[in-house]
């Protein structure tokens, strides 16, 4: 049974209209949300982008990055600095992403040579260094107080000033980022990642350039964080260093772990838990973190290799069926 | 005849140390065009180590490896694979959570094109057809959609062999293809190998313990003991070589 | 002035060294990278507070009880529940888990109190002027006790039977197993020893810097810096690394920059990682890729 051009186009059309449907839903939802909820909604989508980046790095290329917050900061400060000087948001955002990508490449290069704990240390080091820079380079970053009055973008006659409008901008961009991720993981790159994850030695023997893949993945994942940061700046209207400190990188790690690293829907679950749960529980920040980290530990103990997760187990228990897999 | 005498792979004075243990102690060897070369020796003599060094899985402590007069010492295993040198493993090495078909396609997807171009390859008809062809040849086409980890050991061994064949290698290195396999399947594997040599004109090196089979099918045999080559020649000579007998059976 | 800095550096360095030595011990015996080392110190400090402050037990009794609880929870329980299960899967999972555990510990300590707690000290914290320098008995205690603990550890490892077995496991697990050593018990022992070490580190650092729920993060990071620079597959590497970090820290703050002192250390750490990952006094690890 050969798949001809027709079937290929049909499955592509299938995917397109599914994504269009999701886009419609994402655009309609905020219409019905209150001011505060829209804010949570936007925040969730922004963090989702960064979480997808980390999931790619950690779950698919098997590398630890504790620098996602720093890259978010890079994207955020680029947008903040440029937008407050009159540059269009639509130029600043890609610029921030490209800068994050480039720095990710540079950081990733030496990172290739070292093993996990060293890589963790290098990324921690990078985050701390960036944080100190953000905090102390007053002339550029506004120092401790950060940058204010970051205006929201406009496109021609359209102004995205309102919370509702800007939430939709974020939603569209988030969806695009997720679609790109879906694309990456469903091409041969996805298979290459699987091979690397399951048997790195054999993967190299059949010609997989492991270093190249890991490097590019590191850069792409960091660029995702850069995009998230770029979106964050106009969302808040201001940015300051503590938004990008080391503990935020830990938060991203928890999100990816909770969702199940290496699962396509992992970041969705992880971000939903970390952002939404506190809204329902109304307990202290520390208590939230305690719960999240405890969940993360449990998930790790249940499914140490990643890929499968606690949620599969729960899904199976509740419905008796195997959960669907979004990537091959 | 110049064709047969051309060497595909040449090893000069190869050394490999592990924590002070001399696993390979200066081995000279060559693999000739289109021959079926056997590599034998008691356990621990360095056969697998030699294979690992040749294919870039292990780094060498000394000596050189040449592929058709090109020095490939120290090359990465992925680069050596792209030269057309493929190998199987003593302990089967597959991608356990992937299907047999995925394993097969995975074995060659990185051989062609750039990494970037792979983001845009959507159709895999060619690869699937080839995998089907090889799986049919090995008579395991019925498991092509099973996860590799769910196969029987014998089936896994065949998939391992199948993955090697996907890239149409000019030089195939088989590391104990018959280990842990029942005699019937073993005979099948040998038949596949012999047919392969006939059809594809490739060069094959086999590491095996089964002396009877080796003496039967190989053109030449090299014997290692304690990291050194102790004998080399056609099966007839090897069979009667006193050093070989001593290595295997003691003084 | 320089002498003053050296004393200060040695005092803080001693604490880092202690923590790094414990860290190194865990790595050597069971290939465990314990990202929660700093939080363990914090936890020990808080456990001590519970006994001393809340329950009003005498200092020494509190200390003994703290050691017992620490060994039980931070040593045995931690190993059994978390490490043992994940070590088979690989270093990546283990590191993720210890990071998650560190977050857990850090955020559970706050339930005792969010405030900075004054921590008891057996000796005075008052600085005694001597010639041109000022040092407090606590500084002396820091250095002395740390040295004592490390020396005791070395003695234990070299002279006692379980200690020698531990050393064998640290050098080569497989050989040790073949020799009949119960590797499982030895790793448990290593975790227990680490728990004792972090308790001592806690009673040394808390009086000076006060006990706060998030004290572990900065401490833990510096212990890692120390372990990486010095080389954590050798105990002496960890020791020297700890002292070095102490010195670099005080001297950098005094002479170069206050805000960027951590950055200076980090640049050195990253440099070491890139150019001499085994650390200055560590030995090269063999990462085998054999099949």
3-state SS, A171-216, equals: HHHHHHHHHHHHHHHHCHHHHHHHHHHHCHHHHHHCCCCHHHHHHH
User: Residues C38, C195: contact at Cβ < 8 Å?
Assistant: no
Which of these ranges, B149-158, B187-196, C27-36, C109-118, has the smallest mean pLDDT?
A: C109-118
User: How confident is the model over A5-51, as pLDDT tens digits?
Assistant: 566 667 778 888 888 888 888 888 888 888 888 999 999 999 999 99
Q: Which domain does C74 fall in, by range?
A: 2-216
Are B179 and B162 found together in one domain?
no
Number of domains composing chain C: 1
Note which residues in 31-60 of chain B have CB less than 8 A from chain C. Answer: 48, 52, 57-58
- Whether residue B181 lies within 8 A of chain C, CB to CB, comes out as no
Residue B91 lies in a domain: no
- Whether residue C85 lies within 8 A of chain A, CB to CB, comes out as yes
Domain boundary among B167, B195, B213: B167
- Whether residue C81 lies within 8 A of chain A, CB to CB, comes out as yes
Contact assignment for C291 to B91 by CB distance below 8 Å = yes
Residues from chain C that touch A294, judged by Cβ atoms under 8 A, are: 104
The confidence band for C288, taking pLDDT boundaries of 50, 70 and 90, is: very low
Alpha-carbon dihedral sign for residues A149, A152, A155, A156: negative
pTM above 0.80, yes or no: yes
Q: Return the biggest CA–CA distance within chain A.
A: 65
- Whether residue C255 lies within 8 A of chain A, CB to CB, comes out as no
Are B59 and B177 found together in one domain?
yes
Minimal Cα–Cα distance from B156 to chain A, Å?
Answer: 14
User: Residues A242, A87: contact at Cβ < 8 Å?
Assistant: no
Minimal Cα–Cα distance from B195 to chain C, Å?
Answer: 29
ipTM higher than 0.85? yes
Residue C106 lies in a domain: yes
**pLDDT for position C291:** 29
DSSP 8-state class, residue C116 = P
Percent of chain B at pLDDT > 90 equals: 16
Are B120 and B240 found together in one domain?
no
Q: Which residues contact B59 (CB under 8 A, 6 or more apart)?
A: B53, B74
- Closest chain B residue to the Cα of C287, Cα to Cα: B58
CATH number, domain containing residue B46:
3.40.50.300
d(CA A3, CA A147): 55
d(CA C250, CA C9): 6
d(CA B189, CA B197): 12
Q: Is a pLDDT exceeding 70 seen at residue A3?
A: no
Ranked by mean pLDDT, the top range of A176-180, B133-137, C166-170 is A176-180
Residue C261 lies in a domain: no
Contact assignment for A209 to B115 by CB distance below 8 Å = yes
Residue B144: closest CA among B157, B135, B152: B135
Residues from chain B that touch C290, judged by Cβ atoms under 8 A, are: 52, 57-58
Residue B94 lies in a domain: no
Are B32 and B130 found together in one domain?
no
Q: Which domain does B243 fall in, by range?
A: 2-84+169-249
Residues from chain C that touch A128, judged by Cβ atoms under 8 A, are: 221, 262-263, 266
Facing A187 at nearest CB: one of B77, B94, B118: B118
Contact assignment for C103 to A293 by CB distance below 8 Å = yes
Average pLDDT over residues B153-166: 89
Give me the phi and psi of B15, to 5 degrees please. -125, 145
Residues from chain C that touch A118, judged by Cβ atoms under 8 A, are: 228, 273, 277
Residues from chain A that touch B89, judged by Cβ atoms under 8 A, are: 202
Residues from chain B that touch A208, judged by Cβ atoms under 8 A, are: 78, 110
User: How confident is the model over A189-212, as pLDDT tens digits?
Assistant: 989 988 988 888 888 888 888 888
Percent of chain B at pLDDT > 70 equals: 97
Average pLDDT over residues C182-193: 88
Are B174 and B161 found together in one domain?
no
Selected residue with higher pLDDT from A100 and C4: A100
Contact assignment for C89 to A115 by CB distance below 8 Å = no
Residue A114: closest CA among C269, B30, B176: C269
Domain boundary among B167, B183, B205: B167
Minimal Cα–Cα distance from A167 to chain B, Å?
Answer: 31
Overall size of chain B counted in residues: 251
d(CA A236, CA A270): 22
Positions of E strands within chain A: 154-155, 158-159
Cβ count within 10 A of residue B71: 12
d(CA A311, CA C126): 56
Residue C230 lies in a domain: no
Residue B51 lies in a domain: yes
d(CA C99, CA A129): 20
Cβ count within 10 A of residue B136: 12
**pLDDT for position B1:** 44
Chains that touch C (3 or more CB pairs under 8 A): A, B
- Strand pairing partners for B86? B172
Chains that touch A (3 or more CB pairs under 8 A): B, C
Contact assignment for C273 to A290 by CB distance below 8 Å = no
What number of C-beta contacts closer than 8 Å exist between A and C? 120
Contact assignment for B97 to A191 by CB distance below 8 Å = no
Most A CBs within 10 A among B110, B112, B145, B162, hence the mutation to make, goes to B110
Residues from chain B that touch A206, judged by Cβ atoms under 8 A, are: 78, 81, 106-108, 110, 163, 167
Are B228 and B125 found together in one domain?
no
- Closest chain C residue to the Cα of B52, Cα to Cα: C290
What does each C-alpha distance from B111 to A188, A255, B51 come to in angstroms? 12, 36, 21
**pLDDT for position C289:** 37
Are B131 and B231 found together in one domain?
no
Q: Is a pLDDT exceeding 60 seen at residue C145?
A: yes
Give me the phi and psi of C277, to 5 degrees please. -60, -25
Residues from chain B that touch C291, judged by Cβ atoms under 8 A, are: 48, 52, 57, 89-91, 93
């Amino acid at each position: 049974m050969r798949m001809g051009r027709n079937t290929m186009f049909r499955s592509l059309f299938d995917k397109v209209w599914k994504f269009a449907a999701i886009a419609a839903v994402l655009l309609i939802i905020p219409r019905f949300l209150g001011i505060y909820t829209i804010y949570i909604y936007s925040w969730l989508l922004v963090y989702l982008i960064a979480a997808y980046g980390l999931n790619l790095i950690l779950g698919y290329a098997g590398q630890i990055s504790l620098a996602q917050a720093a890259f978010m900061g890079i994207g955020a400060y680029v947008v903040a600095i440029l937008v407050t000087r009159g540059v269009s948001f639509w130029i600043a955002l890609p610029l921030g992403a490209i800068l994050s990508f480039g720095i990710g490449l540079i950081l990733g290069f030496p990172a290739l040579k070292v093993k996990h704990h060293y890589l963790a240390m290098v990324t921690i080091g990078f985050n701390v260094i960036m944080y100190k820079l953000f905090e102390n380079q007053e002339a550029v970053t506004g120092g401790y107080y950060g940058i204010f009055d970051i205006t929201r973008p406009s496109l021609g006659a359209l102004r995205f000033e309102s919370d509702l409008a800007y939430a939709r901008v974020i939603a569209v961009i988030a969806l695009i980022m997720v679609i790109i991720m879906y694309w990456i993981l469903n091409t041969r790159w996805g298979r290459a990642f699987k091979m690397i994850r399951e048997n790195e030695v054999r993967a190299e023997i059949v010609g997989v350039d492991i270093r190249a893949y890991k490097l590019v993945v590191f850069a792409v994942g960091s660029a995702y964080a850069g995009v998230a940061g770029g979106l964050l700046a106009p969302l808040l209207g201001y940015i300051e260093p503590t938004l990008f400190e080391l503990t935020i990188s830990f938060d991203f790690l928890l999100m990816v772990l909770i969702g199940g690293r290496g699962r396509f829907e992992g970041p969705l679950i992880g971000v939903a838990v970390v952002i939404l749960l506190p809204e329902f529980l109304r307990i202290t920040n520390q208590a939230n973190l305690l719960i999240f980290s405890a969940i993360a530990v449990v998930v790790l103990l249940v499914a140490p290799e990643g890929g499968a997760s606690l949620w599969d187990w729960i899904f199976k228990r509740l419905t008796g069926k195997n959960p669907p897999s979004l990537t091959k | 005849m110049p064709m047969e005498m051309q060497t595909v792979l040449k090893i000069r004075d190869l050394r490999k140390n592990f924590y002070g243990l001399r696993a390979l102690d200066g081995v000279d060897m060559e693999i000739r065009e289109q021959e079926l070369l056997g590599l034998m020796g008691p356990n621990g003599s360095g056969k697998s180590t030699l294979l690992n060094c040749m294919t870039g899985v292990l780094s060498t402590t000394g000596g050189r490896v040449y592929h058709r007069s090109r020095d490939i010492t120290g090359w990465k295993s992925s680069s050596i694979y792209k030269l057309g040198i493929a190998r199987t493993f003593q302990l089967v090495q597959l991608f356990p959570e992937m299907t047999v078909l995925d394993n097969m396609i995975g074995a060659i997807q990185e051989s062609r094109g750039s990494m970037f171009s792979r983001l845009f390859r959507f159709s895999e008809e060619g690869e699937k057809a080839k995998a089907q062809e090889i799986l049919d040849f090995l008579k395991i086409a019925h498991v092509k959609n099973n996860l590799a980890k769910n196969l029987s050991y014998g089936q896994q061994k065949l998939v391992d062999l199948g993955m090697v064949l996907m890239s149409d290698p000019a030089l195939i290195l088989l590391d104990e293809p018959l280990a842990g396999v029942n005699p019937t399947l073993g005979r099948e594997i040998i038949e596949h190998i012999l047919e392969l040599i006939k059809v594809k004109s490739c060069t094959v090196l086999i590491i095996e313990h089964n002396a009877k089979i080796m003496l039967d099918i190989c053109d030449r045999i090299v014997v290692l003991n304690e990291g050194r080559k102790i004998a080399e020649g056609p099966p007839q000579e090897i069979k009667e070589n006193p050093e070989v007998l001593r290595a295997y059976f003691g003084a | 002035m320089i002498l003053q800095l050296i004393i200060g550096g040695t005092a803080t360095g001693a604490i880092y060294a202690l923590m790094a030595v414990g860290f190194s011990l865990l790595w050597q015996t069971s290939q465990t990278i314990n990202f929660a080392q700093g939080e363990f110190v914090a936890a020990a400090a808080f456990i001590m507070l519970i006994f001393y402050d809340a329950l009003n037990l005498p200092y020494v009794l509190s200390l003994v009880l703290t050691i017992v609880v620490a060994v039980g929870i931070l040593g045995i329980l931690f190993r059994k529940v978390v490490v043992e299960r994940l070590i088979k899967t690989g270093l990546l999972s283990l590191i993720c888990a210890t990071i998650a555990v560190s977050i857990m510990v850090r955020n559970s300590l706050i339930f005792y109190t969010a405030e900075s707690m004054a921590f008891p000290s057996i000796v005075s914290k008052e600085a005694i002027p001597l010639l041109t320098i000022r040092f407090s008995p606590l500084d002396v205690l820091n250095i002395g006790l740390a040295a004592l603990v490390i020396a005791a550890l070395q003695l234990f490892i070299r002279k006692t039977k379980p200690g020698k077995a531990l050393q064998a496991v640290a050098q080569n697990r497989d050989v040790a197993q073949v020799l009949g050593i119960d590797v499982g018990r030895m790793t448990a022992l290593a975790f227990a020893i680490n728990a004792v070490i972090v308790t001592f580190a806690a009673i040394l650092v808390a009086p000076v810097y006060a006990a706060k729920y998030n004290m572990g993060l900065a401490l833990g990071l510096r212990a890692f810096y120390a372990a990486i620079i010095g080389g954590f597959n050798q105990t002496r590497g960890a020791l020297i690394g700890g002292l070095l970090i102490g010195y670099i820290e005080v001297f950098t703050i005094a002479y170069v920059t206050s805000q960027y002192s951590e950055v200076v250390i980090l640049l050195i750490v990253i440099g070491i990682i890139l150019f001499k990952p085994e650390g200055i006094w560590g030995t090269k690890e063999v990462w085998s890729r054999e099949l």
